[in-house]
Amino acid sequence: MADFYQNQQNKFHGNIDENMSLTDIFHTLAMNQQHGWLFLRSEDNTKEVYFYFQGDLVSLVSSPDHKFKYIPDKLHYAAKISIEEYNQAQMHEMPLVFLRELVDPMELESLKDSICYEEICEVFNWERGYFEFISQSHPEANPELIPISKQFEIEGVLMEIAQRRQEMQENASVLPEMDEILVQEQEIDGPKDYADPMFNVWFLAHHRSIQDIILRSYYNEFDVLRILNNLLLNGNLRPITDEELIVFAAHVEEQGDKEEAIQYYNLLLKRNPLDVQACDALAEIYNSLDRKEDQAILYRTAGERLLSQDDASLRVFGGVYLLRFCDILPESPEGIEMRTNLFYMVKDQEIDGKAIGYNSLAEGKKLFYSLRSRKEDEKARDILENLLALSPHDKTLQSQLINVCIDLDDIPTAVKQYESLAKIYERDKNWQELISTYQKIIKLVPTRKDIQKKLDSVQNKRQKGKKGFRSVASVFMFIFLIASAVGGYFWYSNWNNAQIENKNPILENDEIAKRRQEQVNSKAQQNLTEALYKKSRNQLREAEKMLLEIIATMPDLSIKQQVEAELETLRKQIKEREEISQTFEKEYFKAVSFEKQGLWNQAIGIYQDLWYNTKFQDIPERKNITFPILVQATPSGATVSIDGVNPQTIIGKELVVRCHPDFKQMEVSLEGYENRIFFNALRLPLAKPVVDDQGRTLEPILEGKIEVILAKSSVWTMPFSESAKTIMESAPCYADGMLFLAARDDRIYAFSDIKLSAKPQRMWVWEDKRARLASFSATPSYCNGILYVGGNNGRFYALDTKKQALIGLYPIAQNIPISAACDVSEKHGLVVLGAHDGKVYALPLIKEVTRKWQPRWVFSTTRRIDASIVIQGETVLVTSSDSYLYALDIATGKEIWRYDMDRASRCSPSVMDNMIYIAGNGYMRVVSLSNGKEIRKLEIQGDVLGQPVFYQNAVYFATNGRNLYAVSQNLQILWQYKAIAPFKASPAISKKGILYIGCQKGQKDKDDEKSKKAILYAFMASSGKIIWTHDIYQDIFASPLLVDDVLIQVSDKIYAFMDN
């Protein structure tokens, strides 16, 4: 392969097929460490993709704009932006630029990179196509083709592709095709958070195709397909049924959403290709949208499919559809071809022409003229010949056939047709046309003497005929004049008799008629007064009925005109009222529809207009209006009251509170948490929190969804030191039922009985003059009753926890800090620590007092070590400030490999599946444990001072840039949170899937010093949703610790919380 590449002078190209797959191409380019551009084109020429290769890295060059345009959808459905912001983004000329003002630009870039990664993976579905690689050094290279994505490791991409293919084969029996529409069958367990992957996909899946779900979900395609597979297997989702497709297609079409109706009908036709009703409905929608081309394609596809059936009735429909196709595109090349085929199918009785309303003669003539205009004379001639078989005496057809034959230079056939015409003209005694025809034959074939003789004979007969005709005409003229004179006389006699006839009128009694009319007028006036009264009471229909009855009694003209004027005014009022009522009903049900879709803001916006618009005040249904407000309370189980009363609610897994439009306050409460009170600010978009006369803070409700995070109360707190100024920087160590704390006051504390119901007992406090200035900041390690911990005074301690006695002391150098945790290997009998002198020490584990406690080996780096040591099997992992991650042999201390992070790091490494996760120089990196090679990396904000933790195949870590990250194993960001202050600690995750971590002190309001505080956070690890927070007014440096169902956080004291 390399030889082939070189022979092509830096140009590598060919076909993608079974002999050269995309995997082969990517492998070849990576193996040869090539730099340049790879161009791919699909076999059907519908798609082209460009990549840039840089050694064993690849990035995308061609922009997948068709997927980028869904970024606002992805952010909206993941609750990253509001519906108003989403609508603004959709209307903006440059949505992504607009979104940068609303969303962290890093998150946007990460989302774009994720889309680009999916685009790369997608091309591996191509089985055939064309490829061409152009090296950077090639004359045709275009340096302006700049990558739009970050670089991805080729090996990682190919591994991902292999894994996806395997899983997709396993799931093929469960997952429907991409255009299948899914519906929600039952709710899912777990958090109902739009940012949660499972809920995000489940929510999007209702009445959407799988392709639409993938495009709109915040998560990558493969993860979405995995989730869909699980939801289908668990019965949370199912494919829509045919009956539902029919019902919903009709419903959404009636509602005006014709695009969605098209999607339903297309799927119905895919499942039932012979469904003529669905075909007709879809064609009608295309017609209403003036999508003629789509309508034509539908008719052609359906027609050809139906014609292939044995059922005669279906074949009739097939013929009708093909005829409609021809009517839409009559003069297009496809239309001409289909009209020709249809003509012959009817001729050959493959289609019943009468049944489909096809007139072969009329349609054939149209087709002939179309073919002639396109200069397709041979086809036109064939059509004419078949038409003449249907109508052999049609002189026009014969004339046209002659013209075609002359144009085709087929003189014998033209002459033959002229002779046929001559016979017809001779039979009809049309001497003029007969003479003309003979003359044309002679002009084409001057040698035809027989025709010349016939021409002479006809001309002689015509001359004799003209003389006889003149004599006969004179006789007829005389007879005509006599008849005219007689007829005129009889007409005059009849007219004169009619004039002298006289009729006597019947006279009515004027007095009786006058009295009767007065009664009618009086009754009409009374009824008019009553009708006007009913009108004033808004009884418009009854008033209209009375006015019509008045007119029917035929009052005087003046009264009638008055009534008609009132009737005209009344009908205008009725029409306006009906239009208002129809508008109200239409908008009301639109709002209800929005509610069903969970679009609370849109629903409330409509309800507000219906409630506050004065023109709707007389609509009786107005009183039914209530505002739906989605209350996403964390934790779940909270109760809501509106103005002191429990409101009507819709409770599923979510809580939707129905409020009167003019409600004042909402209170959310839960036992053990602090209540939160809100006020109605739905019409006050700029409202801010206020304090009421009771000193309570009231927060504004600005939209139809509020997220309520109730502050958590601690179960108990306990000081560990008499000094209120002592801050615990090291994390607690829990072992053998004891909690050990190494504090900045040079002491080590031990507590027992860690439980929720009561505070623990402080068992003992160890202090020793040899620990003077130790100022412990390293987390202790425990092994077989011995506690190992380093001090910041250059000494390393081994403490017997049963005797509370020091049994080992190893001095490094005076005042050389040991600020990070050591690690223990029972298998090798070693405790390994790192110090600020840049050295790694491996000391033997001890059980009793050891006077000469000496290391078995020492390894030196060039800068200080202030990240925890990690032992993984036979390897010691060391993060040094000299920018390297070292792998040492635990038995000898010899270096196995080193990995350069380009800058000092204080991150402690973590290992999962033979991969090391470590942060340095603004990146989270994945490094192979076996050889130290970087596999992939992710740019992050800040440095990690703690250690990444793992939970259910995801990686969690926090930075001093105030960011908490959750990423997949391949470093795709799952979610991200920005705190008010930096993180120094590592997260802790409970068995319940709750992530705990505390940040250092920070303040939201720079002008309010009292607002400065540290915060302990509780998140759902799967989604990043905040469950609760707790304020602590001292810095949190230490990582939290879980002891059964108790969460321990240390700072200025010990705080205990329930793990929930």
CA nearest neighbour of 1022 among 934, 918, 952, 945: 952
Task: State how far the Cα of 984 lies from the Cα of 962, in Å rounded to an integer.
Answer: 9
**Distance, C-alpha 951 to centroid of its chain:** 28
Identify the CA nearest to 178 among candidates 250, 118, 263, 248: 263
- Residue pair 183/238 in contact (Cβ under 8 Å)? The answer is yes
The amino acid at residue 891 is A
Dihedral in degrees, nearest 10, Cα atoms 1021, 1024, 1029, 1034: 80
Count how many Cα atoms sit within 13 Å of the Cα of residue 1006 in the half-sphere of its side chain: 0
H/E segment holding residue 1043: strand 1041-1043
pLDDT at 807: 92
User: Where is average pLDDT lowest: 265-279, 467-481, 596-610?
Assistant: 467-481
pLDDT tens track for 432-478: 777 777 777 777 777 777 777 777 777 777 666 555 445 444 445 54
Residues pairing with 745 in the sheet: none
Distance CA 910, CA 142 (A): 42
Q: What are the backbone angles phi and psi of residue 12, rounded to the nearest 5°?
A: -120, 115
Give the span between the Cα atoms of 446 and 502, in whole angstroms.
Answer: 81
Confidence of residue 700 (pLDDT cuts 50, 70, 90): very high
Q: Which has more confidence, 613 or 909?
A: 909
- The predicted structure's pLDDT at residue 475: 47
- Whether the per-residue pLDDT at 1019 is higher than 50: the answer is yes
Cβ atoms 892, 857 nearer than 8 A: yes
Coil, helix or strand at residue 429: coil
* 633 beta partners: 708
Beta strand spans in 247-374 (E):
none
Q: How many CB atoms lie within 10 A of CB 49?
A: 20
pLDDT 10s digits, 115-133: 999 999 888 888 889 999 9
Q: How many Cβ atoms are within 10 Å of 665's Cβ, its own excluded?
A: 15
DSSP string, 27-68: HHHHHTT-EEEEEEEETTS--EEEEEEETTEEEE-S--HHHH
Domain locations in the chain as residue ranges:
2-171, 173-240, 514-578, 627-710
Alpha-carbon distances of 459 from 102, 430, 478, 1024, rounded to whole Å: 96, 12, 31, 105
Dihedral sign (CA 188, 191, 194, 200): negative
Torsion sign, CA atoms 296, 299, 305, 308: negative
For residue 578, count other CB atoms closer than 10 A to its CB.
11
Mean pLDDT (the chain) is 83
Interval 256-279 mean pLDDT: 88
- 504 CA to centre of own chain: 88
The model's confidence at residue 375, banded by pLDDT at 50, 70 and 90, is: confident
pLDDT (average), residues 199-222:
88
Note whether 822 and 833 are within 8 A (CB). yes
CB 710 within 8 A of CB 638: yes
Which pLDDT value is given to residue 503?
36
Q: How many angstroms separate the CA atoms of 662 and 653, rounded?
A: 27
| Amino acid of residue 679 | F
| DSSP state at residue 139 | T
* Average pLDDT for 330-358: 85
For the chain, percent of residues with pLDDT exceeding 90: 22
Question: CA-CA distances (angstroms) from residue 999 to 107, 642, 704, 794, 857?
Answer: 21, 35, 31, 28, 37
For residues 221-236, give the mean pLDDT: 85
What pLDDT score was predicted for residue 858?
94
Q: How far, in Å, CA of 197 to CA of 976, rounded? A: 13
Per-residue confidence at 1011, pLDDT binned at 50, 70, 90? Answer: low
154-202 pLDDT per residue, tens: 888 888 888 778 777 766 666 788 888 998 888 887 667 777 888 888 8
Using alpha carbons only, what angle is made at residue 247 by residues 243 and 249, rounded to the nearest 5 degrees?
115
The pLDDT tens digits for 969-998 are: 889 999 999 988 899 999 999 998 999 999
Q: d(Cα 901, Cα 145) in Å, to the nearest integer?
A: 29
Q: Tell me the fold of 627-710.
A: Immunoglobulin-like (2.60.40)
How does 61-84 read in b/e, with b if 16+ C-beta sit within 10 Å? bbebeebbebbbbbbbbbbbbbbe
pLDDT value of residue 511: 73
Kindly indicate the confidence band of residue 59, based on its pLDDT and cuts at 50, 70 and 90.
Answer: very high
293: its two tokens: 């081309």
Cα 925 from Cα 935, distance rounded (Å): 8
Report the helix count and the strand count for the chain, using DSSP H and E.
27, 50
870 pLDDT tier (thresholds 50, 70, 90): very high
Residue 861 has, within 13 A of its CA and on its CB side, a CA count of 30
Residues sharing a CB contact under 8 Å with residue 307, sequence separation 6 or more, in sequence order = 315, 318, 319, 322, 345, 350, 351
**What would the mean pLDDT of 907-913 be, rounded to a whole number?**
92
What backbone phi and psi angles, to 5 degrees, belong to 102? -110, -30
Tokens linked to 161: 């592709």
pLDDT at 21: 87
Residue of 720 and 336 predicted with greater confidence:
336
Tokens at residue 356, please? Answer: 């489909």
- The set of residues, in sequence order, having a beta carbon less than 8 Å from that of 234 and lying 6+ positions away, is 188
Enter the DSSP assignment of 712. Answer: B
pLDDT bracket for residue 8 (50, 70, 90): very low
Burial of 139 (0-12, 13-18, 19+ CB in 10 A): exposed
User: Is 606 in contact with 590 (CB distance < 8 Å)?
Assistant: yes
Show the tokens assigned to 664. 């004042």
Residue with tokens 């081309």: 293
Residue 897 CA to residue 730 CA, distance in Å, equals 30
> Percentage helix, strand, coil, to 5, in the chain?
40, 25, 35
Tokens matching residue 966: 């959750």
Q: Is the per-residue pLDDT at 1060 higher than 80?
A: no
Which is nearest to 26 in space by CA: 58, 2, 1, 4? Answer: 58
Helix (H) or strand (E) holding 840, with range, is: strand 839-844
**Nearest CA to 444 among 399, 417, 406?**
406
What pLDDT, in 10s, does the model give residues 813-836?
Answer: 777 899 899 999 999 999 999 999
